[in-house]
Amino acid sequence: MQLFAQGGTWKWWTGAGAAVAFAVASLVPVQASAQNSSGPVVTPAVQVTSEVRPGRAFTNSQVLISPEDPNTMVISHAEFANSTCLIHVSRDGGRTWAQSAANPMPPQYKACTRPAFGGFMDATFGPDGTLYVASTGSDTATNRGPTDGYLARSSDLGRTWQFTVVAKAKEREFTLADGKKVSAMERFNYGRVAADPNDPKRVSVGFRVETAFPQTPPPPVRSLVAVSTDGGATFPPLADPIDPSLPQKDLVGSDAPAMAFGKDGALYSFTKERPRSGGVMLPSQPTLPQPPGPPALCKPVSANPAAPAELPNPTDAPPGANEPGAGARLVMSKSADDGKTWKASVIDDGGLACPGCLTIPEVAIDQKSGAIHVAFELSESSLPRPRDNRDIFAMTSTDGGATWSKRLRLNDDEDPRRVPNYDQFIAGISVAPNGRVDVAWYDMRTDALYNPDGRGDTERRNQTCWDVYSTSSSNGGKSFSKNLRVSDRTMNQTSGFALNLNYDLRAPIGVASTDETTFVVWPDSRNGTFDLPNEDTYLGTVVHAAAQEDRFGLKPLSVLLGAALGLLLAGLALFAFSRRRRTAPEPPT
């Protein structure tokens, strides 16, 4: 106690040591909690697009991470209302974004065309940092008529572009469901692209081909793929990756292909079987804004007298429609010779005879292990209500597609008191360098008014509110983590376009992964209303537990080590000062 009564110098040293000790005591439990947290942390969403024009409709967003610099990122998307494809670039890890100087649209086209459902443009990085965007171009701004398929490539993040027209629309022969042939003008839709991560010269593109104008009966749509071996400068003719392995008489229609190059150098293409009746007619170009209506509250859209009629269910499906594989099988095609030949096989037959029961699958391949991961939306409900309770599933192959795991449901919102349950829509998927598999999707579970007492009031039109959810697997797809809400605000489907029944611009949720983070991008309607829908592009970041940082931006271990070192130095100083005070001569009295 006598030491504490001495001069101000001692008090200063004692105060400094106490302050350091207090700081360490404050830091340790907080950081220990972060280290022991049960899951990842989601940061507040960042608005990517800055345009304020009323009626804007940004959609079909994909997020990419540069292979040369993880802080350089690209988001490719479309502005549906004015038929424009564009990209935004970030150089600070997704914190801020700016639109590129030029759009990935060949100058000879008036529009980047706009199918109303599914991913109609796609983007990827090559291993040398070349940015590729695949889409289709049109001489008009409508979403009918002939269209060409093209690939845009840029080596300077969108400041300049080079273009290759891969598929020029022309008169061609289509095969009807009964095997008869008809001639009609082509229309290419739903451009997809993949780059070999180990060879900058190998790039593949894929499209869905259909008739440019309605036909009666409508010829079934088909998927087509071509591979470039000179970095996208030239392509051979597009080829059907399914026929003749699965002849058209056995698998009449096939949708747009989702592609990826494997560790073994093979190209994998995944698609869904189309029903025998042919393609679904697309709605005409919307007129913006919509007529006035009720305020955009999270209530069932069926309360709106102007809502569209309930989506039809195929109650008149042919015999056997309730059996697995009747019109909605999941198909994989594999080529080991740059698309010259293909071998196709059915990898899942859980779909029913309903065009909306199975969406286009999305694929990601682990380049270290070679594991192939596929995610897709599927309803396992039977007729007469096959659209009820759509879920997100994943499957994995570890032997180059020869065998597949049983499909695994990823959304964990099942509630025995609510049957059928909420819908989940079109997933996106990515694999981090460390093998973690990340999947995200549209999710309606936040709509508390949907089927509230389990009576079965489950029409699609009775769901209004939606969010973006995600999950991850750290064991190669064998199991997935608890679902995580990524969007920081619930969207009303009537305030935007993606899930609005008047438009239905759903496309796969964009997902990109590093070892530390998962980036998720989506079309967000928070700035819209029922009277005037708006949709902007938003980005959310999931920081996984091993990479969580404290609020000062420091790693927890670094903070603890630094604090411990400070405490040690303070203790040594205290000890030295105490020794000096004890050995010093007593002051004269």
Decide if 312 is inside a domain: no
Q: If DSSP codes are grouped into helix, strand and coil, which group holds residue 174?
A: strand
* Residues in CB range of 287: below 8 A, 6 or more apart: none
Asked if 141 and 124 touch (Cβ cutoff 8 Å), the reply is no
**Residue 40 half-sphere exposure, CB side, CA atoms within 13 Å?**
27
Q: Are residues 28 and 73 in the same domain?
A: no
DSSP state of 277: T
Q: Are residues 32 and 70 in the same domain?
A: no
Kind of pairing between the strands at 131-138 and 41-42: unpaired
Identify the pLDDT of residue 459.
64
- φ, ψ (nearest 5 deg) of residue 195: -120, 140
* Alpha-carbon gap, residue 509 to 524, rounded angstroms: 11
Decide if 339 is inside a domain: yes
Decide if 311 is inside a domain: no
* Alpha-carbon gap, residue 511 to 373, rounded angstroms: 14
Radius of gyration of the chain (CA): 28
Closest CA to 469 of 496, 487, 481: 487
Q: Are residues 440 and 570 in the same domain?
A: no
Decide if 140 is inside a domain: yes
Tokens of 366: 């682990």
Q: Where are the alpha helices (DSSP H) in 362-464?
A: none
DSSP state of 384: T
Q: Are residues 227 and 352 in the same domain?
A: yes
DSSP state of 11: H
The partner residues of 211 in beta bridges, in order of sequence, read 186
List per-residue pLDDT tens for the chain, 589 residues long: 433 334 444 444 444 444 444 443 333 333 323 333 467 999 999 999 999 999 999 999 999 999 999 999 999 999 988 889 999 999 999 999 999 999 999 999 988 877 767 678 999 999 999 999 999 998 876 667 899 999 999 999 999 999 999 999 999 999 998 889 999 999 999 999 999 999 999 999 999 999 999 888 889 999 999 999 999 999 999 999 999 999 988 898 999 999 999 999 999 999 999 876 544 433 344 444 443 444 445 554 444 444 444 444 444 455 555 555 566 889 999 999 999 999 999 999 877 656 556 778 999 999 999 999 999 998 877 666 667 788 999 999 999 999 999 999 999 998 776 667 888 999 999 999 999 999 999 999 888 666 665 555 556 667 788 999 999 999 999 999 999 999 999 999 989 999 988 888 889 999 999 999 999 999 999 999 888 999 999 999 999 976 554 333 444 444 444 545 555 555 665 555 555 555 555 444 4
Q: Are residues 20 and 103 in the same domain?
A: no
Q: Are residues 210 and 284 in the same domain?
A: yes
Q: If DSSP codes are grouped into helix, strand and coil, which group holds residue 508?
A: coil
* Alpha-carbon gap, residue 265 to 460, rounded angstroms: 41
* HEC per residue, 108-170: CCCEECCCCCCCCCEEEECCCCCEEEEEEEECCCCCCCCCEEEEEEECCCCCCCEEEEEECCC
Q: Are residues 455 and 569 in the same domain?
A: no
Q: 216 is in which domain, residue-wise?
A: 41-48+59-303+323-528+541-547
Decide if 315 is inside a domain: no
Decide if 283 is inside a domain: yes
Residue 243: CATH number of its domain: 2.120.10.10
Q: Are residues 65 and 156 in the same domain?
A: yes
- φ, ψ (nearest 5 deg) of residue 109: -105, 145
* Alpha-carbon gap, residue 117 to 121, rounded angstroms: 11
Distances (CA, A) of 330 to 176, 255, 492: 21, 10, 31
Domain count, the chain: 2
Q: Are residues 507 and 472 in the same domain?
A: yes
Asked if 545 and 40 touch (Cβ cutoff 8 Å), the reply is yes
Residue 581, judged by CB atoms within 10 A of its CB (0-12, 13-18, 19+), counts as: middle
Identify the pLDDT of residue 324.
54
Q: Are residues 185 and 245 in the same domain?
A: yes
Q: Are residues 189 and 282 in the same domain?
A: yes
Identify the pLDDT of residue 328.
80
Decide if 535 is inside a domain: no
Identify the pLDDT of residue 307.
44
Tokens of 132: 């590729």
Asked if 90 and 31 touch (Cβ cutoff 8 Å), the reply is no
* Residues in CB range of 326: below 8 A, 6 or more apart: 317, 318, 320, 351, 352, 353
Decide if 496 is inside a domain: yes
Asked if 544 and 516 touch (Cβ cutoff 8 Å), the reply is yes
- φ, ψ (nearest 5 deg) of residue 310: -55, 140
Identify the pLDDT of residue 573.
55
* Alpha-carbon gap, residue 68 to 508, rounded angstroms: 25
Q: If DSSP codes are grouped into helix, strand and coil, which group holds residue 211?
A: strand
* Alpha-carbon gap, residue 466 to 456, rounded angstroms: 19
Please tell me the total number of residues recorded for the chain in this structure. 589
- Concatenating the DSSP letter of every residue in 455-476 gives S----GGG--EEEEEEEEESST
Q: Are residues 259 and 362 in the same domain?
A: yes
